[in-house]
Amino acid sequence: MPAVEQTAQRLEILVEAACRYGLVLDLLTAIHDMQNGRQLGPGETELFNAASIAALLAKLERERRGIDLE
Q: Residue range 8-35: average pLDDT?
A: 97
pLDDT at 53 over 90: yes
Cβ contacts of 24 within 8 Å, gap of 6 or more? 14, 17, 18
Q: Residue range 15-22: average pLDDT?
A: 98
What is the domain partition of the chain in residue ranges? Answer: 3-65
Q: Which amino acid is it at 24?
A: V
Report the C-alpha gap between 67 and 15 in whole angstroms. 22
pLDDT at 70 (0 to 100): 62
